[in-house]
Amino acid sequence: MAKIWIYLFLIAGFISCGQANNKTKKNEPGEINITWVDDLPGNFTFTENWDYPEGIYMNEFGQLSCDGICPPETEAMKDETGRILKDSLTAFYNLVDTTHQYYSIQCDARCYEWAGTNFITARAVNRDTTVCFTHNNTATHSSLHLIITNKRCIPTIELNSVAGPGEIIIYPCQSGQIEIDRKLWYKGILKATFNFTFDDKEAPNNPLSWEGKIYTKIEAE
């Protein structure tokens, strides 16, 4: 994760410098023009849906428990049947996050090692640039990354394969479009619809793709 953020910050800084020196420059390969609209239409009710954090489930005793990704201290708080001991409930939930996580993206993709995702993070890295990335999970290892400036968006797919050598493979954007709600953007919310295709050197005649809707708060720099 640290390497990903370093990569994003370097690109974001490069974009900001380039805009300051030449605001009328033509798009570079992989850049998509942003269409800003005042009231983006569409059904965004997916934001009413939520999940518990990965690994959280309801056990047979009606307790929220965790499986796989658990603080080691919690094991001593359960009996042999998996029930959380009554006198350990408060301590258990101080260690285990059971908050409702509301969906921030609805999307469909054709890419490697992808089984779906419902969450995206958007973060302002400076006054002119916001970076976004979808969240991976145990079944999804491809993540959509967006670098958004005032006029342009740079989408990429980043594959952190469990079958590979541990190196992140980046697929650059080939074409596409993105619309962003201007009014909500100035209120610190990213509401967008998008549709992108990406180059795949291993299958150049069959590009990867990612499309969907986003509605999420933009974290401050």
Structure confidence at residue 102 (pLDDT): 98
Average pLDDT over residues 131-143: 96
Q: Where are the beta strands (DSSP E) in the chain?
A: 32-37, 50-51, 56-58, 64-66, 101-102, 105-110, 120-124, 130-134, 142-148, 152-159, 169-181, 189-198, 208-219
Give the chain's mean pLDDT: 89
Structure confidence at residue 21 (pLDDT): 46
Average pLDDT over residues 11-21: 48
* Tokens, residue 147: 């670098």
Instruction: Inform me whether the pLDDT recorded for 113 exceeds 60.
Output: yes
pLDDT-derived band at 65 (thresholds 50, 70, 90) equals: very high
Structure confidence at residue 69 (pLDDT): 79
Average pLDDT over residues 140-168: 92
Rounded to the nearest 5 degrees, what angle is found at the Cα of 154, between the Cα atoms of 152 and 155? 135
| CA atoms in the 13 A half-sphere facing the CB of 150 | 9
Average pLDDT over residues 84-94: 96
Closest by CA to 162, choosing from 146, 185, 142, is: 142
Rounded to the nearest 5 degrees, what angle is found at the Cα of 3, between the Cα atoms of 213 and 69? 70
Q: Which of 9-18, 67-76, 171-180, 196-205 has the lowest mean pLDDT?
A: 9-18
Structure confidence at residue 165 (pLDDT): 67
Q: DSSP assignment, residue 62?
A: S
Instruction: Inform me whether the pLDDT recorded for 14 exceeds 90.
Output: no
Instruction: Inform me whether the pLDDT recorded for 168 exceeds 60.
Output: yes
Instruction: Inform me whether the pLDDT recorded for 12 exceeds 60.
Output: no
Structure confidence at residue 22 (pLDDT): 44
| Torsion on CA atoms 46, 49, 55, 60, rounded to nearest 10 | -150
Instruction: Inform me whether the pLDDT recorded for 62 exceeds 70.
Output: yes
Residue written as tokens 């849906």? 49
Task: Find all residues with CB under 8 Å of 159, minimum gap 6, and list them.
Answer: 111, 112, 113, 141, 142, 143, 168, 169, 170, 171
Structure confidence at residue 2 (pLDDT): 47
